[in-house]
Chains A and B, each alone.
Chain A
Amino acid sequence: MLNSIKLKLVIWFVIVFSFFFAGVELLLYYKLEDLTVKLADEHVNSEIQTLANLLAIEEGQGQLESELQEIGAAVTGVYAEKLSGHYYQIVSGDGQILVRSPSLSLADEALPVLKASNKPDYRTIAGPGGEHVRMLTQTFDFSIGTLTFQAADSLDETYALMGSFRKIVLLAFPAVFIICGIGVFVITSWALKSLKSFTVKVGQITEENLSERLEERGVVAELKPLAASFNTMLSRLEESFSRQKQFLSDASHELRTPTTIIKSFCDVTLSRERGAPDYKESIKKIGDTVNRMCDIINRILVISRMDNKTIQFKPVKIDLMDLMKDVKKLIEPSAVNKGISIGLEGKGVVVKGDREGLTEVFTNIVENAIKYNRPDGTVSIDINEYMGNAIVKVEDTGMGIAPEEIGKIFDRFYRVDTSRGLTVGSGLGLSIVRTIVEAHGGKVEVQSEVGKGSAFIVSLPRNP
């Protein structure tokens, strides 16, 4: 459940959206604060300007002193209310508070006197009523000397506004969080619907209908490459399945013939009472056939292991001449029986490979050269090297292979339609030969002329 695209999308979207939302709110909050403070600044500024202008006018008429006396009492409105949050005071050059607004004087309070210049000095301080105030301090020059004007406005309303703004945002946040989460969930569900239907389609393909393919046209663009790779994979699976099936059917077919022979020998021999020699003969034949079956089974096993890559080749340095001498020694007796002579020429070439595997390869090839030879024929083996490869050529003087058959002789269970009655063998030998040679990075080729003979040419990379 945790490992789901939908959930991840929802989580990521909610996280990103939350950050975005919080950022926007913070920005708005500080902008708002800035704005309200500026408004307060303008307000205190205009207050001071009014006072200064008023005094300047009075000074022009020579009534500055009396005005300073009156200005405190003359005001009405918020400045006349005790600790209303709106204050002003005028301080003389020597720090004496000359004038206080009634809001101050009624409570006998004063704004903190600051050192000032003719440049406006805005700051936020704790006011006399315990409230936050925005205070402006600025000096103006008059005939009686430099006067410091101070005015302050409460920020508490602003702070209250900011507070309620904050409260709204904090309340809205979880709601936004939930709504956004649900929204993303719905959207991703909808977006992933095509993936679901695609999954259903893929799920419908089993080993029974491997030949079916996913329709690539109706699929959404994002899933098209997936559908294409699925189809490629299905093709490969189908091919491998049918190869396995073919192999199994061929293998069981190959085993049926010896089974039939054994069964027939049993049936016929047991059908009546016989003497010991008859039983002996039957058992001998059954034994021979069992050996043949074992041979077929072993080869089937070798091939299936090579298919599964469970056979590990142990590469060692091998002199092909030595190997061929061993092979020749092994096979010569059966060649002599048919009156066939084996010739071995060339020079020793060293390759790197698996001794058992390569012995199997050349035993198979030389055995074939004898099996399909004419009586009193010859088998000539030549070992040489050419362009960094060891070349082993095994030539026979047999019946040859028809051109249309050459392509098939390395196929599993393929047997050349031979002359009378010659069908000994499993039809697996050359298939094993090719597999082993290719596993060594080499290749096998066949040249043949019907009636004259065949040549099997194995080339293997020479050991450097």
Chain B
Amino acid sequence: MRILIVEDEKDLAAIIKQGLEEEGYVVDVAHDGEEGLYMAESYPIDVMVLDVMLPLMDGLKVLSNLRKKGVQTPVILLTARDALLDKIKGLDTGADDYLTKPFVFEELLARIRSLIRRKTTVKEAVIRIADLEIDTASHQVRRAGKPIALSAKEYSLLEFLAYRKGSVVSRTDIIEHIYNEDADMDSNVVDVYINYLRNKIDKEFSGKLIHTVRGAGYILKEE
């Protein structure tokens, strides 16, 4: 899952980025409104964390520009103001959620997960495919009740497929959602990670869950 942080306080942006990356998200950072707008339009962002007070273009303007251009990326507004009117204005401009500074980081994580679920068919923090369980809050993965240890990248890939369970996901999609703009990746890397995942999830269990769709990509589903 790919998250865009638009925050002018560099230290704050850096620590949020670190925290989100440790949670397995792919994170892009913009430090002003114009850069934020450009990145939100150009990259397949899953959730945007948008500060309201920004240089060059304020957060609400970025948001209204995005919505005008038809970009439906879920947006969490981040602001130091907790005035009711600001909240109403923010939500009416097209924000999906609102968080007042200072916030508890866990809350930001929970709100991000909630927005990701809203876009998909998943309704719970735990995604289930057959006997495979993925807990998106604790990042624990089990199959047939047995815990499976995954690397951060493997988990990101599995989670991305799990949120789109039952649909075909292209290699480009996968690359764009598990790597940020700084990475210049060959799509072959996806095949490598799919292989790792298959070894851990499918190999020792009955019933394959990861399927290759020739010429299109991959799909996570029950047989």
Contact = CB atoms under 8 A, between A and B. Distances in A.
Contact of B56 (A260, A261, A417): A417
B173 interface: no
Contacts of A380: none
Nearest to A420: B32
Contact of B102 (A260, A271, A419, A422): A260
25 contacts: A253-B81, A256-B101, A257-B9, A257-B12, A260-B101, A260-B103, A261-B15, A263-B103, A264-B15, A264-B16, A264-B19, A264-B105, A267-B19, A268-B15, A268-B18, A268-B22, A271-B105, A285-B15, A288-B11, A419-B55, A419-B56, A420-B55, A421-B8, A421-B10, A421-B31
Interface string B1-35: 00000001111100110110010000000011001
User: 8 shortest A-B CB distances, which residue pairs?
Assistant: A267-B105, A268-B19, A260-B102, A260-B101, A256-B80, A421-B31, A263-B102, A259-B102
A257 B13 CA distance: 11
B186 interface: no
B29 to A, nearest CB: 10
Interface residues of A, number: 24
Contact of A421 (B18, B32, B106): B32
Contacts of B106: 267, 271
Nearest to A288: B11
A289 interface: yes
Contacts of A288: 11
A49 interface: no
A309 interface: no
Which secondary structure dominates chain A's binding surface?
Answer: helix
Given A268-B105, A288-B11, A421-B31, 10 more contacts: A261-B12, A261-B15, A263-B105, A265-B15, A267-B106, A271-B22, A420-B31, A420-B32, A421-B10, A422-B55
Given A271-B19, A271-B22, A417-B55, A263 B80 contact: no
B183 interface: no
A47 B102 CA distance: 120
B84 interface: no
A351 to B, nearest CB: 37
Nearest to B34: A420
A119 interface: no
Given A264-B19, A268-B18, A285 B102 contact: no
Interface string A257-288: 10111111101100110000000000001001
